[in-house]
């Protein structure tokens, strides 16, 4: 199966998982609904005042003919709102994950338990987890803006701005959306944000197969809220695939063998020397790269 199809399959499996686990689905809706209300209020305010902002930003057009002045300011208002919408798409997941950190952490853990094993996360207080998540999200947003700002400006170019730019913008949004969602599972393994992005860049097709259809769906009002719990579940499955873990069968009762660790007995993604996701741990083990 191609990476594109595998990414889409992870997205579908995540939505299927929450559909089978209705209690966890309702649990995951709460932070997404809160974030949606905040974003809708901001976008409505931007839409109401876009004309005033466009007029303030184009004082040089005051002496133009009425038709040209109106055309310019309407165009500026539309671009401003489109930019606000793009920014909303890029940041919605980060804000929702920040609001719902404890919710989505528990949901992701449950998905991993069902898949054959959940690594123990770092023992840190909640405030520090939230601070780390906020800093990581700002880092991802910074890189997203590196791509989004040029695309925003290219949106003014005739034909290109109406054809190529939306497609590229959707791919950019899908990639960074996946980075944010996969962070829930990857942060549990102690991977710093730069390493997460490096690992996901190696599997761009997989990431785009997951992120592009999700980013497109998130453009539809209210759909982001409905899909968010399944998106977290699917990104957890994607993270396991990227890190070489996948789904492992549990040992049969009474088999007398210990259950495999979070990276498996001999197929850890960073080599068999990693005895535990955090710290040296395990007989004869050496500290892993993120110890």
Q: What is the mean pLDDT of the chain?
A: 79
Find out whether 255 and 245 touch, Cβ atoms under 8 Å. no
Q: How high is the pLDDT of residue 247?
A: 54
Q: Is residue 123 over pLDDT 70? A: no
| pLDDT, tens digit, 9 for 90 and up, residues 41-57 | 999 999 899 888 888 98
Tokens of 245: 């873990």
The rounded distance, in Å, linking the Cα atoms of 261 and 258 is 9
| pLDDT, tens digit, 9 for 90 and up, residues 2-47 | 888 999 999 999 999 999 998 889 888 888 889 889 998 999 999 8
| pLDDT, tens digit, 9 for 90 and up, residues 77-119 | 888 888 888 788 777 877 888 888 888 888 999 999 888 777 7
Find out whether 14 and 232 touch, Cβ atoms under 8 Å. yes
Angle between helices 3-20 and 223-242 (to 10 degrees): 120
Q: How many CB atoms lie within 10 A of CB 22?
A: 9
């Amino acid at each position: 199966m191609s990476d594109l199809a595998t990414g889409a399959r992870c997205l579908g499996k995540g939505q299927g998982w929450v559909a089978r686990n209705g209690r966890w689905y309702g649990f995951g809706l709460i932070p997404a609904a809160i974030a949606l209300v905040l974003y809708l209020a901001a976008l409505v305010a931007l839409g109401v005042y876009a004309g005033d902002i466009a007029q303030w930003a184009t004082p040089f057009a005051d002496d133009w003919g009425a038709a040209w002045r109106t055309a310019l300011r309407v165009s500026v208002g539309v671009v401003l709102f489109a930019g606000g919408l793009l920014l909303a798409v890029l940041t919605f997941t980060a804000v929702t994950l920040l609001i719902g950190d404890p919710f989505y952490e528990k949901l992701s853990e449950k998905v991993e338990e069902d898949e054959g094993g959940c690594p123990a996360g770092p023992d840190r207080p909640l405030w520090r987890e939230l601070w780390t998540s906020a800093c990581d999200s700002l880092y991802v947003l910074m890189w997203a803006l590196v791509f989004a700002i040029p695309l925003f400006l290219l949106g003014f170019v005739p034909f290109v701005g109406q054809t190529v730019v939306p497609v590229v913008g959707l791919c950019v949004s899908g990639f960074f959306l996946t980075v944010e969602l996969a962070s829930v599972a990857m942060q549990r393994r102690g991977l710093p944000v730069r390493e997460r992005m490096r690992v996901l860049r190696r599997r761009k097709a997989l990431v785009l197969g997951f992120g592009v259809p999700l980013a497109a769906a998130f453009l539809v009002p209210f759909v982001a809220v409905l899909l968010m719990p399944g998106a977290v579940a699917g990104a957890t499955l994607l993270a396991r695939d990227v890190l070489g873990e996948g789904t492992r069968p549990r040992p049969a009762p009474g088999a007398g063998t210990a259950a495999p660790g979070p990276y498996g007995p001999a197929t850890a993604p960073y080599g068999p020397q990693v005895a535990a996701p955090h710290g040296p741990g395990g007989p004869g083990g050496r500290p892993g790269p993120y110890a």
